[in-house]
Structure 1
Amino acid sequence: MVEIEFQQKTKDLIDSLKAICATNGLGNSTGEFEIITQVFLYKFLNDKFAFEAKKIDDNIATAEKWEDALSAMSEGDLEMLQLQMGADTARLKPHHFISYLFSKQNESDFAQLFDDTLMDIAINNNDVFAVMTDSGEKVQLFTRISENVTVSKRDQFCKAIINKLIEFSFERIFTQKFDFYATIFEYLVKDYNSNSGGKYAEYYTPHAVARIMADILVPEVERGEIRNVSCYDPSAGSGTLLMNVAHAIGESRCSIYTQDISKKSSNLLRLNLILNNLVHSIPNVIEGDTLRHPHHKDGQDLKKFDYIVSNPPFKLDFSDIRDELDSKVNKNRFFAGVPTVPKKDKDKMKIYTLFLQHILTSLKSGGKAAVVVPTGFITAKSGVDKKILSKLVKDKMLSGVVSMPANIFATTGTNVSILFLDSTQSDKVVLVDASKLGIKVKDGKNQKTLLTENEEKLIVEAFNEKKAIEDLSVVVNYDRIKEMNLSLSAGQYFDVKIEYSDISQEEFDKVVHNFESNLDDLFKESSEFEIEIKKQLKSLKYDF
């Protein structure tokens, strides 16, 4: 109950920051996104520093004001204190604290001081908290947020923010678990994590999809035994899929690797990693084009990963770089080929097939992957899609498929399936048709489908235990898949049910007699209609 109350207070803080932005003409703008996420992160890091300092030093913990106790420390003692803190705690100085800015809010050029503080924190923590681009440039933790506001309003704008931040502390949430942070993160970014028109624009993956993927990739019986593994997403977005997998494995037992062309996605992902005790993976976050410039490599070859999850863009016009991708350098990576440029509807080029090939090339021997694909892929009859399916069957890399309900993504009408890959699997492939599950709800102007907790468990149990459940799941071998022309649609393997009942010869004769009588009546009625129509036509003829 206390956690729910504090969760609401956290949401209230986010709402109050959005209200400040709205009154300054920034509602739903790019500037608002930068301000909300960066101010929230500044508050989070400030309170995390206090939380860790109090755990280490009793004098700080018992002080009336922890900021005063820290300010009284010598530079050497403060440095020693910071050395004892975990690597996921930002290195702050007394003049970085929110309380210090609060005390200076009535001075002239307060907005300048506010921005300078954020930039100083970013520079001091660049080695840990900066995201790198594929060209090697570092993207700092903070920017000068007041520059989003008209010059005359900047001081008042920053004063309004600092007065909201001083009102309560996040300290008590640092003992919370993954689900708490997942809820807060979703609320924080719900207005910003959508298709912004960018080239590989990010989409928010529903938590039900993310949970199912994680629970199948990392079954309950394996948790606690996995150590020092790598998890990768080549189109990471805000990191929902990776956060779920990392939580299932254990945040301290895995390293996250990502790449995404979207700057906004990379910033959201960094925030997500900080919230979820995965700061050690921030140096592995790359802002850049995975298809043209894959960053994660071992020498000249692509780096291989233990776990890969992805919800790549499905269709996109990449005609301008198509020939660049179809090169000798990429021949092994894009083994099934690069889709040709159609004469019409270039925006429907199947870019997901390139991500899928990249994932297959990046998967370790014995590794596991889960990829969201359009359901049409699992019954592909030709082209690049069919070549990929052929390789999956030939190399026996399939663990199975889960076909999701329509509108599981509120932002797209495309039906989706989750493709599970695992080269260690036996000759048993699990196909699940979950298309009839879920409840329909309104999401703004869209309709989406929500799976219940029990439905999620049913899907995971059927898959992990390789259960055949009527009208839900089937277990098939590779020979059977070949017989079915490589189709991975569960429905095509279900037994056709014919309802019948035992009756006597006398009852059968009676049924046949009734049918014959009905047919006689229908023929008689048809003949009468024919005679009547001819009369009407003859009458019309004489009238003319």
Structure 2
Amino acid sequence: MSEKVTQQDINAVLWQAADTFRGKIDSSIYKDYILTMLFMKYISDAYKEHLEEYTQKYDGDERRIQRALSRERFVLEEDATFDYLYSKRNDPEIGEIINKALEKLENENTGKLRGVFRNIDFNSESVLGRAKDRNSMLRSVLEDFNRLTLKPSVVGSEDVIGDSYQYMIERFASDAGKKGGEFFTPSMVSELLARLVKPEENDRIYDPTCGSGSLLIKVANQVPNKKVQIYGQERNGQTHSLAIMNMYLHGIDDAKLEWGDTLANPLHLEDDKLMKFQRIVANPPFSLDKWAMGFANDTTNDKKFKMDASLDPYRRFDWGVPPSSKGDYAFVQHMLYSLAEEGRMATILPHGVLFRGSSEGKIRKQILEMNLLDAVIGVPEALFFGTGIPACIMVFQKNRKRNDVLFIDASSEGDYEKGKNQNKLREQDIKKIIEMYEKYETVDKYSYVASMDEIKENDNNLNIPRYVDTFEEEELVDLKAVKQNINEIKSELESVEQKMKEYLKELGL
């Protein structure tokens, strides 16, 4: 029995493999190469181990071995395995050989991997440089990965691989700064959202801007047997591919992840209507500019195009069309229209959505009148990659029994851990928020339950400081005590000076 490979072992090799590219290519691009190679190495090693087991079990009977292998999660031809690529690591055409292997993998597993590798090119001169440089980089990466054994018997739990994948995505996201935020929500923020929506067995769970899928996985993990159905959509092709691999590496084989613009082209439909979900989570791009461009037809001049509610066949913008430069409420309305009866959703948004006027104010008023808003939670600034913007979480619920809204201000000094570039939520901070959300009560300087009348009086402004006062009164200064203190310091100073004179005299200075 081989010695177990730990999470740390895998993470260290992955980070070393990333060194091959560092300084030559932007990390938001080379992450795709590293993560694809990790996926390939894992399914290759699992396949190889099962092949050994069946060969022993069926005493070398080729027909029975092949039949058993055809029932595996993934089917691999010999020239689509990692070992084959490693044997060709010095071949001058290695980039093309890897591309062909990935294409073969897709074709052999078309139901599961169709299109997953279409956005990655291991033979790209524009990304990886000229043949000589490209080949030496690819050889080095293959050699790094060859040091890893990812056979199921050695790795133990599949979560180990999934967690390494997650670890790398998070490291890349912090490296990539602003671009990183596009494909990854920090894990503790995802954890908070997942616990806020409290999924149940057999729920349909949906993320309309799913990035690399990590937030959906956190929600699925809230259900002990993971018996939920996962749905997501992502606009960026590379990120969509990462999300599919991420699901498989976490043992979620039946996720339905679509590629496309969720606003202009939602792809989860039932009877030509938007599909309904019991739980929805999202971290949409903050204040997305030109969010409605997908609704313009080809003949429209970009500058002249004006979004109108009638252009959307699903009627999601009947409560108001968000400003063209800020897509926040476009995503909120899409999610509310996709929410099942009794369903709950939680989404991360910039603070502006709480108080901005004009069309956004009109949409906010409509949402409040329909009693869909359950809670507004202010979180610390600088939680997200590449942006210091303080954000909030809005929790919505269909068919609410109450007629008020809970406000929580979880952004004070003691409610998070300060980091150099990025602040972090700790387990205790998340617990505190969740407990307050469940208690739903007013606590001085932390939370406030506002009636709908109060919110109306505030003209539907949801800015958190209007409801939760975190202002700390400064203690009055006792001038008498201060004066006394100054006098004491003066007399102490005089006696020290006197002593100093005596010492100097003794030394004859």
Short-chain TM bin:
0.7 to 0.9
Alignment-derived partner of residue 67 in structure 2: 79
User: Is the CA contact 1:433–1:489 (under 8 Å) kept in the aligned structure 2?
Assistant: no
Q: CA deviation at 1:489?
A: 4.2
Alignment-derived partner of residue 320 in structure 2: 337
Change (3 A) 1:426 1:260: same
User: Is the CA contact 2:279–2:343 (under 8 Å) kept in the aligned structure 1?
Assistant: yes
1:509-520 equivalent positions in 2, closer than 5 A: none
Give ranges in structure 1 of 5+ residues lacking alignment: 61-68, 131-137, 342-348, 502-510, 515-544
Change (3 A) 1:153 1:350: closer
State the distance in 2 between where 1:291 and 1:254 align: 24
State the distance in 2 between where 1:326 and 1:156 align: 53
Q: CA deviation at 1:183?
A: 5.5
Change (3 A) 1:146 1:340: closer
User: Is the CA contact 1:468–1:474 (under 8 Å) kept in the aligned structure 2?
Assistant: yes
Q: CA deviation at 1:480?
A: 3.5
TM-score, normalised to structure 2, is: 0.78
State the distance in 2 between where 1:192 and 1:411 align: 9
Comparing 42-51 and 110-119, the one that deviates more: 110-119
TM-score, normalised to structure 1, is: 0.74
Alignment-derived partner of residue 56 in structure 2: 59
State the distance in 2 between where 1:19 and 1:185 align: 18
Alignment-derived partner of residue 8 in structure 1: 8
Alignment-derived partner of residue 357 in structure 1: 333
Q: Which has the higher contact order (CA 8 A, sep 6+)?
A: 2
Paired letter, 1:328? S
State the distance in 2 between where 1:414 and 1:399 align: 23
1:148-297 equivalent positions in 2, closer than 5 A: 148-153=128-133, 156-171=136-151, 175-176=156-157, 181-182=162-163, 184-188=165-169, 190-191=171-172, 202-218=182-198, 226-250=200-224, 252-281=226-255, 284-297=256-269
Change (3 A) 1:268 1:319: closer
State the distance in 2 between where 1:495 and 1:209 align: 24
Paired letter, 1:333? R
Q: CA deviation at 1:176?
A: 3.3
Alignment-derived partner of residue 419 in structure 2: 441
Alignment counterpart, residue 405 of structure 1, candidates 377, 380, 383: 380
Q: CA deviation at 1:195?
A: 7.2
Q: CA deviation at 1:58?
A: 8.5
Paired letter, 2:455? I
Change (3 A) 1:214 1:365: same
How many pairs does the alignment contain? 458
Q: CA deviation at 1:203?
A: 4.8
State the distance in 1 between where 2:458 and 2:164 align: 42
1:301 aligns with 2:279: no
1:311 aligns with 2:293: no
State the distance in 2 between where 1:362 and 1:286 align: 16
Give ranges in structure 2 of 5+ residues lacking alignment: 297-304, 481-509
1:126 aligns with 2:110: yes
State the distance in 1 between where 2:120 and 2:13 align: 21
Alignment counterpart, residue 123 of structure 2, candidates 146, 153, 169: 146
Q: CA deviation at 1:178?
A: 5.2
State the distance in 1 between where 2:183 and 2:101 align: 33
State the distance in 2 between where 1:266 and 1:257 align: 12
1:468 aligns with 2:442: yes
Q: Secondary structure at the match of 1:232?
A: strand
**Deviation digits for residues 38-58 of structure 1, max 9, x if unmatched?**
21111121123345567x748
Change (3 A) 1:78 1:452: same
State the distance in 1 between where 2:377 and 2:367 align: 16
Alignment-derived partner of residue 301 in structure 2: none
Change (3 A) 1:498 1:335: same
Pair member with larger Rg: 1
Paired letter, 1:42? M
Alignment-derived partner of residue 389 in structure 1: 364
The alignment yields a C-alpha RMSD, in angstroms, of: 3.7
Q: CA deviation at 1:94?
A: 3.5
Q: CA deviation at 1:452?
A: 2.3
Q: CA deviation at 1:105?
A: 4.7
State the distance in 1 between where 2:442 and 2:161 align: 35
User: Is the CA contact 1:232–1:307 (under 8 Å) kept in the aligned structure 2?
Assistant: yes
User: Is the CA contact 1:7–1:184 (under 8 Å) kept in the aligned structure 2?
Assistant: no
Comparing 164-173 and 308-317, the one that deviates more: 164-173
Identity %: 23
Q: Secondary structure at the match of 2:211?
A: coil
Change (3 A) 1:149 1:126: farther
State the distance in 1 between where 2:469 and 2:110 align: 60
State the distance in 2 between where 1:103 and 1:338 align: 57
Alignment-derived partner of residue 326 in structure 1: 308
User: Is the CA contact 2:173–2:183 (under 8 Å) kept in the aligned structure 1?
Assistant: no
Change (3 A) 1:12 1:307: same
Paired letter, 1:206? P
